[in-house]
């Protein structure tokens, strides 16, 4: 009954006749059933079609509602729970393992295409067993990553990259340098999504900060880590499930600047790379005009201002039409994620990490 009422409300908001409803219903039902009803930040009882109807109703002109509806149908990029789980499951065999194979080739007389022979060598086996895997956030789904990769020991995989000194000492007792090589041959940092890369590398007061920048500094300065790794002999892989092309390039550039000659040991890869062509940033874009006309600046604070722009097109002007099933990135368009405390309704309301700024 609730779904029927939501459909009627949507038809009323859009001014659809029975023919329009018959044409649009199968599309909306497919979008809702396959993906959008799975958004985890909807309020209790809320579903996609109802949220869509209420979201569209805030636009004053029929032409604006049509622009917004067409945007959702044709340009929105939504990553479901199932898709992200799939990315977490395949990131090792399809993206990380080939990098380890390439690294192992240099220690053999084999060719890159002789994969079966390479993985049977002691060089590859030692490299794989002396690799450590870390989550950069909860989104890395380390539990699923662990269960999906039986070739890896659970003792190689960690929920967080911030290991206590006692754990580092345990690793030092278990992993030993062999033939002049460091005890740990590869470090893999896993995360689900980045739009700008600034949470990993950014400049503050002339110095690099961010998750990866701090981790690299720790590797180079902490004696417990220095007993385990040695750059550039230790390979560092940043493996992301979803990332924009801009973020990937920014991470590479920052790593090169941060590591200098040791940057040869740093690799960043993504299961799904998002082309910059999906961004909405031009004022000539019809939906961009809506983003500007229906903007509420009340959500700006000291955290969002670090992006250097307002939030019309999201943090740092990201302009992304992207929604993740567990939360909408703040780099996406404001109209998509506007929080409940805003005067503007978001289609997929975002839950902010910074609760104290309300």
Residue 355 pLDDT class (50, 70, 90 cuts): very low
Whole-model pTM: value is 0.92
The pLDDT value given to residue 57: 96
The answer, yes or no, to whether residue 278 has pLDDT greater than 70, is yes
Residue 28 pLDDT class (50, 70, 90 cuts): very high
Number of CB atoms found within 10 A of residue 174's CB = 11
pLDDT in tens, 112-134: 889 999 999 999 999 999 999 99
The answer, yes or no, to whether residue 284 has pLDDT greater than 80, is no
pLDDT in tens, 10-26: 999 999 999 999 999 99
Q: Which residue has the tokens 């722009």?
A: 309
CB 241 within 8 A of CB 91: yes
Each as own residue / partner, the long-range contacts of residues 85-89 (CB below 8 Å, 24 or more positions apart, any chain) are: 85/141, 85/144, 87/192, 87/241, 87/242, 87/271, 87/272, 88/140, 88/141, 88/144, 88/145, 88/148, 88/190, 88/192, 88/241, 89/144, 89/145, 89/148
Q: What percent of the chain has pLDDT over 70?
A: 97
pLDDT in tens, 39-89: 999 998 899 999 999 999 999 999 999 999 999 999 999 999 999 999 999
CB 49 within 8 A of CB 295: no
CB 136 within 8 A of CB 161: yes
């Amino acid at each position: 009954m609730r779904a029927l009422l939501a459909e009627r409300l949507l038809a009323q908001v859009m001014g659809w006749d029975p023919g329009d409803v018959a044409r649009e219903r199968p599309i909306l039902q497919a979008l809702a059933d396959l993906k959008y009803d799975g958004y985890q930040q909807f309020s209790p009882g809320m579903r996609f079609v109802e949220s869509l109807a209420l979201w569209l109703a805030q636009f004053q002109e029929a032409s604006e509602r049509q622009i917004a509806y067409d945007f959702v149908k044709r340009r929105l990029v939504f990553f479901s729970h199932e898709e992200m789980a799939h990315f977490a499951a395949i990131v090792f065999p399809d993206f990380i393992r080939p990098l380890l194979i390439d690294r192992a080739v240099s220690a053999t007389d084999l060719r890159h295409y002789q994969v079966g022979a390479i993985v049977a060598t002691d060089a590859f086996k030692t490299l794989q067993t002396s690799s450590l895997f870390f989550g950069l956030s909860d989104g890395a789904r380390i539990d699923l990553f662990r269960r999906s990769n039986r070739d890896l020991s659970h003792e190689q995989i960690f929920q967080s990259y911030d290991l206590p000194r006692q754990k580092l000492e345990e690793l030092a007792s278990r992993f030993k340098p062999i033939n002049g090589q460091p005890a740990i041959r590869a470090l893999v940092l896993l995360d689900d999504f980045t739009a700008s890369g600034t949470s990993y590398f950014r400049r503050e007061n002339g110095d690099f900060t961010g998750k990866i920048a701090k981790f690299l500094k720790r590797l180079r300065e902490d004696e417990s880590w220095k007993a385990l790794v040695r750059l550039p002999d230790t390979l560092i892989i940043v493996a992301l499930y979803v990332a924009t092309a801009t973020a990937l390039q920014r991470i590479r550039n920052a790593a090169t600047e941060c590591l200098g000659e040791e940057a040869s040991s740093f690799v960043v890869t993504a299961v799904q790379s998002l082309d910059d062509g999906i961004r909405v940033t031009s004022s000539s874009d019809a939906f961009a005009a809506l983003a500007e006309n229906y903007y509420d600046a009340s959500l700006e604070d000291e955290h969002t201002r670090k992006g250097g722009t307002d939030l019309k097109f999201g943090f740092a002007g990201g302009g992304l039409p992207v929604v993740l099933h567990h939360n909408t990135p703040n780099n996406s368009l404001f109209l998509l994620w506007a929080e409940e405390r805003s005067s503007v309704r978001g289609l997929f309301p975002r839950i902010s990490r910074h609760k104290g700024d309300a």
